[in-house]
A and B are shown apart, each in its own frame.
Chain A
């Protein structure tokens, strides 16, 4: 546990100047700012939307961009970046010669990647709520965000999206651990994401078995119902499969690290 905690702390320390860390913060800030600006500029189009409906339109604008392609690509990039920082500095030999157990080092790195994605999606949820409420205050007659408290749905939606990305993260983490270059893990990740999107869009019956389709499937399963509410079943089929894949890939990654010789 000691090795895990110091490894996690070190990951934060050395990554705080990297694109992966700032990406987790800037991505939600940029996307929510753009959508919020769009709503502000075109507020007249939403005067008929009330309560949860306007929130739905607002969230669609964000998650439509984020969930389909950006979220998987961000997860792939984080997995790459967390490992590449060691590959680039030829640091594995140095890390593995420290008095820390390999389990702690590996789990600390993986845990940091998970936390970066959690941070990113938490910021999405928090900024989404803040943005909607600010719009509601600035243009209360046109943008009626204040009619509905969307906090619970926002956090559940993003929790589900976060969990749906765990399968991709663990697979990509494994690939980035094995390969030192950028092209292989990123290429495989990108092609798999495209395949996942196609499988989800054509409603292939086994699409839930493809981790790269999970974020999109998670979004598709959260469309507002006819009664006007969003039914968020966090642990749906694809999320459960994603978590199982994540657990298997995580253990596999550890076996590789534990047996790895640093040549």
Chain B
């Protein structure tokens, strides 16, 4: 058995001299919706192409379902559905024919085609040439193609690109349904934090090829919780003292951070420190929204 549907170990990739993916160790728990966040050009698509063996590494550092990718490529890919960048669709074929062709390649019964057309709401446009589809319809067809073989793991690269607000909500609900009711693991990249926040159970944040944060959405929210930022002398000693007093302490930029619970508790921290001989320079109640947190994480 395996705990992680996707696991990479210090994944590296460079295009020429440019390091595009740098020491990325992903851990995507089975059954999770993993939001892979990062600004444009952060290395998301390259990472996804590595996970699908479209880009190749010599190292054995990519594991899907607990199996090494280069060694078990065909077996692993038979359990994965994917959508990379813009959906790849034959424009001269209809939506139904695109799905039928893929069903043929995957050895999937043709009845699945009809089910998928219904699922992505393309029944009405099924016989229309795909080149005449709107961007949103193409995106939905791309998702249907990814879902055709009923895969355990879905790897979707910016699946809501080009969708209108209703389309975005539909895709989000579809992905949540697939994870919650059908037990699928979904790895979905996006550059929109708000989008990921609404559906993901786990988050990885990448920028300039480096994985800057990885954890559950609750852990991300915890980072976002409001803090009391304390300026105090003898920082380490003060931190140790507050820890002994039962506070959860972190230190950054020459300040101690304590989770904010109430104004009374804020006052109590100050009193405790002063009574024990520490000099408190400042006490600041700080609140950061997720958007700023994301910018903070990715700006360096």
Interface size on A, residues (CB 8 A): 25
With A6-B105, A13-B100, A100-B105 given, is the CB distance from A90 to B77 under 8 Å?
no
B131 to chain A, nearest CB (A): 10
Flag whether B295 is at the interface (Cβ < 8 A): no
Flag whether B86 is at the interface (Cβ < 8 A): yes
User: Can you list, as one digit per residue, whether each of B88-105 has a CB less than 8 Å from chain A (1) or not (0)?
Assistant: 111111000100110011
Query: B106 touching A98 by the CB < 8 A rule?
Result: yes
Flag whether B49 is at the interface (Cβ < 8 A): yes
B299 to chain A, nearest CB (A): 28
Query: A88 touching B105 by the CB < 8 A rule?
Result: no
Give the A-binding residues of B (Cβ under 8 A): 15, 49, 52-56, 73-78, 80, 82, 84-86, 88-93, 97, 100-101, 104-107, 145
With A14-B93, A89-B90 given, is the CB distance from A98 to B105 under 8 Å?
yes
Can you name 16 extra interface pairs (CB under 8 A) apart from A13-B104, A262-B55?
A6-B105, A7-B105, A13-B97, A89-B90, A90-B86, A93-B52, A94-B82, A97-B52, A97-B54, A97-B82, A98-B106, A101-B74, A259-B56, A261-B55, A262-B54, A263-B49
A180 to chain B, nearest CB (A): 14
Contacts of A88 in B (CB 8 A): 91
CB-based closest 6 A-B pairs: A99-B78, A94-B88, A262-B54, A99-B77, A97-B52, A91-B88
- Measured in the bound complex, the distance between the Cα atoms of B117 and A139 in whole Å is 57
Please tell me which one of the listed residues A13, A18, A93, A100 contacts residue B88 in the complex, with CB atoms under 8 A apart.
A93
B99 to chain A, nearest CB (A): 12
Contacts of A259 in B (CB 8 A): 56
- Measured in the bound complex, the distance between the Cα atoms of B52 and A100 in whole Å is 12
For B157, the closest partner residue in chain A by CB is A93
B110 to chain A, nearest CB (A): 12
With A97-B82, A100-B74 given, is the CB distance from A17 to B93 under 8 Å?
yes
Query: A262 touching B90 by the CB < 8 A rule?
Result: no
Query: B74 touching A13 by the CB < 8 A rule?
Result: no
Flag whether A223 is at the interface (Cβ < 8 A): no
With A13-B101, A262-B54 given, is the CB distance from A99 to B89 under 8 Å?
no
- Measured in the bound complex, the distance between the Cα atoms of B55 and A7 in whole Å is 22
- Measured in the bound complex, the distance between the Cα atoms of B253 and A87 in whole Å is 52
User: Can you list, as one digit per residue, whether each of A186-210 has a CB less than 8 Å from chain B (1) or not (0)?
Assistant: 0000000000000000000000000
B85 to chain A, nearest CB (A): 8
Contacts of B80 in A (CB 8 A): 97
Please tell me which one of the listed residues B56, B74, B84 contacts residue A99 in the complex, with CB atoms under 8 A apart.
B74
- Measured in the bound complex, the distance between the Cα atoms of B86 and A88 in whole Å is 13
Query: B92 touching A9 by the CB < 8 A rule?
Result: no
Query: A6 touching B107 by the CB < 8 A rule?
Result: yes
